[in-house]
Structure 1
């Protein structure tokens, strides 16, 4: 039996009993062998009796052990109490001794405090006296050093002068406590200037010849006199002079070349600068080895100081080339590409060489490369507008006939957007999209010119609508084709405009990200050199366009404006409506001609000689009405070839003109229904112009309206509600007029009653 399990933290009585019971059964089963199966109740009883006996035995043993331990503790208590009392007495004695020791230490401190202060004061005085002694000694030797230094200058002994000047500097430091230090400091600076002037011709020659050993000696000399920055200035001045001469040579050589080759002068010079920088980097690293970082920076400082000081300036030479060039934008793009290529290679060289220039030098480099070009970036929108205006004006030349005008619209739209894409490419190449928002502003004027071309074509179509003659009808069918073509051109223009806006938004988002990232970037870029105020203004303009897009997307369909050219979309919508109206006018023109033959009857008493235009009663409709019916019946065969399977662009244009085209029925049927609807309106208006209507004439009008209704039923259409009311009112007997007019429009009831001279019984 495992008694140790009773002291475990996770002891479980049930598990412990079950485990021991299982063990007990296994042991008894092994002893029994092949005997009969034992009774479980008897086995359990035997297990309980056995384990209870063992537990009682263990309890007795525990009780015995506890009693023995208690007796031992009781026996040892007097001894423990005695030892505790002794320990307390020892502690009290120790506390008394420590108190006495603290008093002794305080007394010693009081006695020695004054002595220590005196010692410290004496030590300070000794230090001052020693410094004064050294200063006096140096002062005694100051005059000798000055004489020796003057002698070295008279003999042009650069090395000796440098050594004496170093000693003079040490002597000056030692005499800092003596009066006249400022005068001596001025003397030392004068000697440094004389030494620098003495060494400068040799220094310039050494740097010009790139003689490393001599240059290293001069580095030591200038370092010893604390004039190393001045030596670096000499180095940069020599290098700038050399590169300035190369610049003039490059311009002179290019001046003798063809105009096409002259345009590469900037690229050639940038290549020379890069090669020079790569050669000088290794040389400067060896030369200024005490400060490798500053040594690596020297060739780049040369570039940063050289480019703004070039004579003639880069912008002045570019302006001369622009004056003699007819391709100014292409020329500017080439120079901008030269700038970007130079910066790209410069950044790659820095990264490859693992060179980290100071932030101020990186900014200075960016300004030196790009600052001159900002005047051309400001001029770019004006140049772009001039070129686009010239192209568009040449494209939108006068067209003599409507057919030529309409056919020209498709080509002009295609070319216009090709030119706009090219303009955006130029904007990116020349300005890195910094002038993108200004380009968007001037494009509104370009679109306005194209829309004027649409207006002119519409006016030509409207003025070309013919009469009811056969020749004019044939021309009208041709005009109908032209209006459909113009609608398709308008839809194509709007679709291209929508894609163009999406492209502009993408470019604006990219530009915004680049401007925001440039503040944290480490590489040279044009965005880091961009004026902060102008940058904030540009970001605000982009944010405004993005806000307009969000508002337009939330309220408009996918073919509506994206917020960049809302006025263009508004004008396009007007053009869609007007062109569709011209289409309806073309189709309604013969109907209007026939309806004009329905004249109000002349008052017989006022004009006895005049005859009524309306014939006497007959069961046949009037000729003008039958002609209208025949015309309407022939409309489907003219419309279906145009609109049976309209292109996606034409379908989109028609849907923008009238919401009915969105229905899932053929566009020809929709247009026919619109013609019929307008025909009914015109017929109704013509009828309401009649002042007096005899009974026979009223019957004739009713027959005409019924005929028109039958014709429309054959077309699958119906006359409008007002015309139906007029038919009811014309057919109503005078004595039944009030009853039959119930439910009809009151205005029509009154007008027809007055025509028919029916006396109101109300």
Structure 2
């Protein structure tokens, strides 16, 4: 029976029994098989018990011997410790006894080293002299590699002779010899680079590396390649003049990218010890800054022929940006995991974008010209004034969309760095657009007559509604532009603070001069620290005044019939010289005998018809008109939503106050009033008060005081007029020829 399963760590009794009973023997006679199996297990148990007893006996018998061995090992360990201690003491004694001898040996060793160095120096000095003498013959042979080998040997000798008195003279002598070799090799070197010979170029790289002149070799390479690229640019300009700067730039950028990929392959085989990407970065930066004619000169010349200069500049900038994106991919590919000179790369990208720095510094000028051109299509002047006002209202969405397009163009052309100029241009644009509203307002003022004209009133309200709509749209535009600026600022600042700086998107450094960067930062700070947005102050000043002016004109249109009647107050028949005799007869009549005069009844009738004329315009839900009214007069802003009469009631109240004020001023202009005239004028005032009361309004306090003063008898005038305005008291006294008792 196999009992190996019992030693398994995962032994399961049930599994073992089930497996055992699957055998053919178990299937034939289970009882006999079980009896046999139990017997076998019992025998195995007895064997195991016997083995355990034997092992235990052996262990017990060997314990005394183990204890003796342990004791012996302990004694030997103590003996070893004592011997180590004695050895340590002996070593310390030897060090003490031989310290002076060791110092002497060290001094002798130092002297030996110095003697060897002096020997090598004398040998190298002699070698230097021999090499310097041999070099003249080698130079005559023109064998550049042999000359290089001699110079390398002299270079090694000079390192050993670093402390000799004439070291500087020797160093200058060696540099002069290197210059001779460089001058001798330069024609062949230029030929090798120009012909793109890999074998010849490798030889020169090896020679110049050996004499520590690899940077000078790279300058020759840059000069050769730069000359080739600049010549290709000149050929484009001279031979394809009909195509223009956009096509020149596009083709030249393609040439640069193609040349980059070719030079990467070539440089990887020639310049194996330096970063190929850094070599080409420096080359391209030098090339782009040395082009003749430069991009800027060509762009300036082409710009003079463009009617839409900003769109033309944007087209060129998009060509350049596409090239920059491809160049970034090329640089990353050429780096091959090697570190890139960040300053050199930034200089390259600055050279790419440098043609646009000057234009972005003058972005306000270009954006203003662009917006002025777009404004021409918004000219709304018509022969009919109402058509002009309606045309203005229809032009608002287009006017805002032009400003939105200008914001998008700023983001595309300047990457958001030109917002300082855009804001200036938008302010001019908004002001020029508002000139059309001011012109319409001027036409309204010229056409208003001295009669009731509800058609003119409707035009005024429509214009006011247009101004309100424009104000609402401009505020939204202001919020959008401000949000866009802050978003751009966050992106630019996050890039500046990033550990892995991407030179290709550092647009503040790429597109702005130092003064431009400062102006941009000041603009962003003013928005972040203050509560105002970019255009809010300008919009508020311009639109609020325009709303007030239109509202004033609207008031004048409504008030004209009233003012015409009030102008008759000073010359009314009731107190003219021709009626003095009749006035004396009527002086003793009671107050109810007097009827209001025609001028005041005409005003009363007009005031009573005002609500039915105002309500159709002012009771409708009109957010634009509501905004314009609230801006025009603070009284509309204080109106609660549940207030009876709404804006019509507010305007009616303003008209009532104007009526009372004008009436009072005209009354004070009357030269003389008799007793009957006073009663008549007081009756007129009371009539106006009754009309206003029916409209839910009231007379002004001053007009009420005038009515009171007119009804006082001369005897009680002094005593009962004390609560009135001193100015009114004095004026009425003078009109009534009442002698002051004071």
Q: 1:288 to 1:735 in 2, by over 3 A?
A: same
Match of residue 212 from structure 1: 198
The answer to whether 1:312 aligns with 2:293 is yes
Equivalent residues of 1:322, 1:328 under 8 A apart: yes
Q: Give the distance between the partners of 1:324 and 1:448, measured in 2 at CA.
A: 28
Q: Deviations over 1:7-54 (max 9, x none)?
A: xxxxxxxxxxxxxxxxxxxxxxxxxxxxxxxxxxxxxxxxxxxxxxxx
Structure ranking higher on relative contact order (CA contacts 8 Å, 6+ apart)? 2
Superposition map of 1:581-596 within 5 A: 581-596=552-567
The answer to whether 1:439 aligns with 2:410 is no
The answer to whether 1:486 aligns with 2:463 is yes
Match of residue 363 from structure 2: 380
Equivalent residues of 1:602, 1:610 under 8 A apart: no
Equivalent residues of 2:202, 2:270 under 8 A apart: yes
Q: 1:630 to 1:139 in 2, by over 3 A?
A: closer
Q: 1:614 to 1:345 in 2, by over 3 A?
A: farther
Give ranges in structure 2 of 5+ residues lacking alignment: 1-77
Q: 1:142 to 1:444 in 2, by over 3 A?
A: closer
Q: 1:477 to 1:107 in 2, by over 3 A?
A: same
**How far is the alpha carbon of 1:237 from its aligned partner?**
2.0
Superposition map of 1:561-580 within 5 A: 562=533, 564-580=535-551
Equivalent residues of 2:481, 2:534 under 8 A apart: no
* SS across alignment from 1:433: coil
**How far is the alpha carbon of 1:650 from its aligned partner?**
0.6
**How far is the alpha carbon of 1:648 from its aligned partner?**
0.9
Match of residue 330 from structure 1: 311
Q: 1:125 to 1:740 in 2, by over 3 A?
A: closer
* SS across alignment from 2:528: helix
Match of residue 659 from structure 2: 679
The answer to whether 1:496 aligns with 2:478 is no
Q: 1:317 to 1:613 in 2, by over 3 A?
A: farther
Q: Deviations over 1:613-652 (max 9, x none)?
A: 9999856433223322222233233223322315211111
Match of residue 279 from structure 2: 298
Equivalent in 622, 625, 629 of residue 604 of structure 2: 629
**How far is the alpha carbon of 1:308 from its aligned partner?**
0.7
**How far is the alpha carbon of 1:748 from its aligned partner?**
5.6
- The TM-score, its normalising length taken from structure 1, stands at 0.73
Match of residue 506 from structure 1: 483
Match of residue 254 from structure 1: 240
The answer to whether 1:362 aligns with 2:345 is yes
Q: Give the distance between the partners of 1:234 and 1:685, measured in 2 at CA.
A: 95
Match of residue 302 from structure 2: 321
**How far is the alpha carbon of 1:487 from its aligned partner?**
1.4
* SS across alignment from 2:303: helix
Q: Give the distance between the partners of 1:101 and 1:660, measured in 2 at CA.
A: 107
Q: Deviations over 1:65-92 (max 9, x none)?
A: xxxxxxxxxxxxxxxxxxxxxxxxx9xx
Match of residue 529 from structure 2: 547
Q: 1:209 to 1:621 in 2, by over 3 A?
A: same
The answer to whether 1:643 aligns with 2:618 is yes
Q: 1:399 to 1:126 in 2, by over 3 A?
A: same
The answer to whether 1:268 aligns with 2:251 is yes
Match of residue 213 from structure 2: 227
Q: 1:508 to 1:107 in 2, by over 3 A?
A: same
Q: 1:347 to 1:610 in 2, by over 3 A?
A: farther
Q: Give the distance between the partners of 1:733 and 1:162, measured in 2 at CA.
A: 130
Q: Deviations over 1:260-316 (max 9, x none)?
A: x5423223322321232233223323333334xx23321222111211111111111
Match of residue 342 from structure 1: 323
Q: Give the distance between the partners of 1:142 and 1:349, measured in 2 at CA.
A: 48
**How far is the alpha carbon of 1:723 from its aligned partner?**
4.3
Equivalent residues of 1:598, 1:613 under 8 A apart: no
Q: Give the distance between the partners of 1:283 and 1:604, measured in 2 at CA.
A: 112
Q: Deviations over 1:700-752 (max 9, x none)?
A: 44544454444445444444454455556666788898999797767666766
Q: Give the distance between the partners of 1:278 and 1:183, measured in 2 at CA.
A: 45
Equivalent residues of 1:600, 1:613 under 8 A apart: no
Q: 1:603 to 1:424 in 2, by over 3 A?
A: closer
Q: Give the distance between the partners of 1:546 and 1:122, measured in 2 at CA.
A: 76
* SS across alignment from 2:596: coil
Q: Give the distance between the partners of 1:605 and 1:578, measured in 2 at CA.
A: 38
Equivalent residues of 2:445, 2:553 under 8 A apart: yes
Match of residue 65 from structure 1: none
Q: 1:263 to 1:615 in 2, by over 3 A?
A: farther
Equivalent residues of 1:333, 1:429 under 8 A apart: yes
Q: Deviations over 1:351-382 (max 9, x none)?
A: 45665411221222133223343222223323
Q: Give the distance between the partners of 2:273 and 2:360, measured in 1 at CA.
A: 43
Equivalent residues of 2:361, 2:516 under 8 A apart: no
Q: Give the distance between the partners of 1:676 and 1:215, measured in 2 at CA.
A: 99
* SS across alignment from 1:298: helix
Equivalent residues of 1:614, 1:697 under 8 A apart: no
Q: Give the distance between the partners of 1:613 and 1:254, measured in 2 at CA.
A: 105
Q: Give the distance between the partners of 1:127 and 1:722, measured in 2 at CA.
A: 119
Q: Deviations over 1:416-437 (max 9, x none)?
A: 4444333333333333333322
Q: Give the distance between the partners of 1:327 and 1:535, measured in 2 at CA.
A: 27
Q: 1:367 to 1:244 in 2, by over 3 A?
A: same
Q: 1:707 to 1:669 in 2, by over 3 A?
A: same
Q: Give the distance between the partners of 1:170 and 1:709, measured in 2 at CA.
A: 117
Match of residue 556 from structure 1: none
Segment drifting more, 392-401 vs 653-662: 392-401
Match of residue 237 from structure 1: 223
Q: Deviations over 1:180-215 (max 9, x none)?
A: 554544444344334333433333333333333443
Match of residue 85 from structure 1: none
Q: Deviations over 1:451-483 (max 9, x none)?
A: 444444333322322123xxxx3xx32221221
- The TM-score, its normalising length taken from structure 2, stands at 0.75
The answer to whether 1:284 aligns with 2:267 is yes
Q: 1:134 to 1:677 in 2, by over 3 A?
A: closer
Q: 1:734 to 1:375 in 2, by over 3 A?
A: closer
Q: Deviations over 1:487-524 (max 9, x none)?
A: 12222232233223223322332343344344342332
Q: 1:740 to 1:210 in 2, by over 3 A?
A: same
Q: Deviations over 1:95-147 (max 9, x none)?
A: xx999997x87876565344333322332332333334344445555565456
Q: How many residues align?
A: 646
Match of residue 35 from structure 2: none
**How far is the alpha carbon of 1:232 from its aligned partner?**
2.1
Equivalent in 603, 618, 628 of residue 653 of structure 1: 628
Q: Give the distance between the partners of 1:610 and 1:141, measured in 2 at CA.
A: 146
* SS across alignment from 2:240: helix
Q: Give the distance between the partners of 1:150 and 1:672, measured in 2 at CA.
A: 112
* SS across alignment from 2:620: coil
* SS across alignment from 1:255: coil
Q: Give the distance between the partners of 1:498 and 1:656, measured in 2 at CA.
A: 13
